């Protein structure tokens, strides 16, 4: 049976965060800036919103955190775990299917 | 939604919701660090003092909404938090039945071991009275321990004091419906233990079983808040 994902749109922030943390470890502010830069500021949100998501991912063992002092400032760095990377693969696959479906419906004009 | 003006107010709100102090301190610390980064960003853009603070607060977003999202996302991260109604309204009942069964089992086995139950019981009349008191104490202990444990679970699953209160009130109501009697043996009768539910009101209700969960909640609430505030103070001093 084909699996459906009604919560998919809710999973977009999860996809973005895991995508960035799979490449390199980052702290909250850095992560928000990376999302804004790499989406040409098309995605804007209250920057504090990143922390509930990061803490939820950490509770689900998809990311891990560590404290580190850099240039006199203490920061919490996050990175994706193997479980997080596996989840990223799933989410990426689902995202590709959604994009492909929407593009078909729109007649390919947004491809 | 009521606006929260500072991270100190956010900390108070999260503690007020009954979230564990360790988590609250960590979340607030990260937000303060993020705010400091935003202030630095504002200063690089030429803003100073109050303007830089305003810029940082606007970028950080509504802290009231953030407090709500923090609570919800942490609740979603564990099974108990995702199913609070089932956990705090229904599960205490099977826990009580299992607890009672275990106590009865231990009592039966110990009694068998020391020959309490046979026709020539090793117990004197005074011993039977002591045993009846012990049974009652275990019974009240269950009425204390089970809601208290669910209060602890409410706190650690990020469900907060509201669900702790719900579970305590329901258990207090349960206490008005449940009866236990332990009759010591008479000249011809055997010792009998009666355990069960009744909807009869009046003389059979033991006020202790109804009150103990509520007193337990009050105690849990006071101790938990005090411990949380102490931990926040200690962590604040350490930082």
Query: Mean pLDDT across the stretch A68-78?
Result: 88
Q: Which H or E run includes A92?
A: helix A82-105
Q: Contacts of residue A26 in chain B, CB cutoff 8 Å? A: none
Q: Closest CB to B30: pick one of A28, A45, A53.
A: A28
Q: How confident is the model at residue B119 (pLDDT cuts 50, 70, 90)?
A: low
* Residue among B30, B62, B63 whose CB faces A76 most closely: B30
Residue-wise pLDDT for B19-57, tens only, equals 888 888 899 999 999 999 999 999 998 888 888 888 888
Q: What is the dihedral of CA A79, A82, A86, A89, to 10 degrees?
A: 50
Q: Which residues of A62-75 are buried (b: 16+ CB within 10 A; e: fewer)?
A: bbbbeeeeeeeeeb
CB within 8 Å: B74 and A56: yes
Contact A52 B33 (CB under 8 A): no
Assign A78 to helix, strand or coil: strand
Q: Mind listing the pLDDT tens digit for each residue in B188-209?
A: 566 777 788 877 766 667 788 8
Beta-carbon separation of B66 and A74 below 8 A:
no
The shortest CB-CB distance from B74 to any of A48, A55, A75 is to A55
3-state secondary structure of B113: helix
> What are the residues whose beta carbons fall under 8 Å from the beta carbon of B24, sequence distance 6 or more?
B11, B14, B15, B228, B232
Please give the pLDDT value at position B4: 56
Q: Is some CB atom of chain B closer than 8 A to the CB atom of A48?
A: yes
Cβ count near B229 (within 10 Å): 13
Contact B31 A48 (CB under 8 A): yes
- Partners of residue A48 in chain B, C-beta under 8 Å: 31, 34, 60-61, 63, 66
Residue-level pLDDT at A16: 92
- pLDDT interval class at B108 (50, 70, 90): confident
Is A44 touching B (CB cutoff 8 A)?
no
User: What integer pLDDT is reported at residue B92 of this predicted model?
Assistant: 93
Confidence class for position B167, pLDDT limits 50, 70, 90: very high
Helices B92-113, B125-156: crossing angle, 10 deg rounding? 150
CA separation for the pair A71, A78 (Å, rounded): 18
pLDDT band at A3 (very low <50, low <70, confident <90, very high): very low
The DSSP secondary structure of B154-206, one letter per residue, reads: HHHTT-HHHHHHHHHHHHHHHHHHEEEEEEPP-SSPPPEEEEEE----STT--
Residue A81 pLDDT: 96
CB contacts of B11 in chain A (<8 Å) are none
pLDDT above 80 for A45: no
pLDDT value, residue A44: 72
CA-based nearest distance B78→chain A, Å:
8
For residue B63, the distance in angstroms to the closest alpha carbon of chain A comes to 8
Does residue B216 register a pLDDT over 80? yes
């Amino acid at each position: 049976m084909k699996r459906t994902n009604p919560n998919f749109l809710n999973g977009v922030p999860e996809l973005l965060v895991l995508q960035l943390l799979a490449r390199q470890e980052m702290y909250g502010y850095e992560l928000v800036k990376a999302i804004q830069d790499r989406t040409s500021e098309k995605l804007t949100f209250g920057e504090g919103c990143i922390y509930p998501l990061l803490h939820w991912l950490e509770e689900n063992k998809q990311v891990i955190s560590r404290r580190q002092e850099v240039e006199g400032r203490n920061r919490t760095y996050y990175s994706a775990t193997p479980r997080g990377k596996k989840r990223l693969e799933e989410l990426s696959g689902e995202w590709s299917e959604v994009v492909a479906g929407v593009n078909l419906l729109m007649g390919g004009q947004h491809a | 939604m009521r606006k929260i003006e500072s991270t100190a107010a956010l900390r108070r709100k999260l503690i007020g919701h009954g979230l564990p102090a360790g988590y609250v301190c960590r979340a607030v610390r990260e937000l303060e660090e993020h705010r400091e980064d935003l202030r630095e960003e504002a200063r690089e853009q030429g803003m100073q003092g109050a303007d830089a603070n305003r810029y940082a607060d606007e970028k950080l977003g509504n802290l009231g909404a953030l407090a709500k999202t923090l609570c919800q996302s942490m609740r979603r991260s564990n099974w108990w938090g995702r199913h609070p109604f089932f956990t705090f309204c229904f599960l205490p009942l099977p826990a009580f039945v299992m607890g009672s069964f275990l106590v009865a089992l231990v009592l039966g086995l110990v009694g068998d071991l020391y020959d309490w139950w046979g026709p020539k019981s090793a117990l004197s009349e005074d011993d039977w009275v002591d045993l009846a008191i012990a049974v009652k104490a275990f019974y009240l202990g269950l009425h204390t321990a089970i809601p208290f444990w669910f209060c602890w679970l409410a706190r650690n699953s990020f469900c907060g004091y509201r669900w702790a209160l719900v579970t305590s009130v329901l258990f207090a109501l349960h206490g008005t419906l449940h009866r236990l009697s332990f009759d010591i043996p008479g000249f011809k009768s055997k010792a009998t233990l009666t355990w069960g539910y009744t909807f009869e009101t009046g003389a059979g209700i033991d006020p202790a079983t109804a009150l103990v969960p509520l007193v337990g909640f009050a105690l849990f609430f006071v101790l938990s808040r005090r411990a949380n505030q102490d931990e926040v103070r200690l962590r604040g001093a350490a930082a």
